[in-house]
Amino acid sequence: MQSVCVFCGSSTGSNAAYTEAARSLGTMLAEANIRLVFGGGHVGLMGEISNAALTAGGDVIGVIPKFLVERELAHEGLTDLRIVGSMHERKALMSDLSEAFVALTGNTGTLEEFFEVLTWAQLGEHKKPCGLLNVAGYYDPLLTVFDCMVEVGFLSESNRALLLVEGDPERLLQRFDHYEPPKIAKWVDRSET
């Protein structure tokens, strides 16, 4: 694995564990010679993970839309800063540059970006691992929703298995190293149409 995309918040949240996890993941990626691809901002957890990776000698690519650069949110000290025209372009480029995806703690934007790449995996558009870093149980309520989706028949067990979940950055990266995508024969039951 040469590059990992990390989606995360533009704030740090109320628990110091979120910042610690971002810093730890950034350092681990750099020490493993894995390029960090992220949203290009210097604030919040985005700033924490990118600064940790840079401090540890890592290669960091930020992808940020022009309107956020104009708000002075771009991280100017990156290995590579790519400025794009829209959020759609941002997500597409981040996906193209990455071999795996992680969602750290964040808000609706973090989830929207992560859910898009997870959906692409479900549809067979890529076979890259997608993981939630569930720091301090942050994503526990979301995981309950996923389990409910399976229980009521909206999400198959094989598609649920696409979502890797760990509370520790090192364990999540280890799971990425050994990831084999589930073999999904079909994603729509044609007998029902």
Q: Burial, 190: exposed, middle or buried (Cβ in 10 Å; 0-12, 13-18, 19+)? A: exposed
Q: Where does the pLDDT of residue 190 fall: very low under 50, low under 70, confident under 90, or very high at 90 and above?
A: very low
What are the pLDDT digits (tens) for 67-115? 999 998 999 999 999 999 999 999 999 999 999 999 999 999 999 999 9
- Written as six digits, the tokens of 28 are 């681990």
- Written as six digits, the tokens of 8 are 């995360």
Fold of 3-176: Rossmann fold (3.40.50)
Confidence at residue 181, expressed as pLDDT on a 0 to 100 scale: 84
CA-CA distances (angstroms) from residue 97 to 4, 12, 17, 60, 101? 8, 25, 28, 11, 11
Confidence at residue 112, expressed as pLDDT on a 0 to 100 scale: 97
Q: Where does the pLDDT of residue 188 fall: very low under 50, low under 70, confident under 90, or very high at 90 and above?
A: low
Where are the domains positioned within the chain? 3-176
Number of helical H runs and strand E runs in the chain: 8, 7
What are the pLDDT digits (tens) for 129-144? 999 999 999 999 999 9
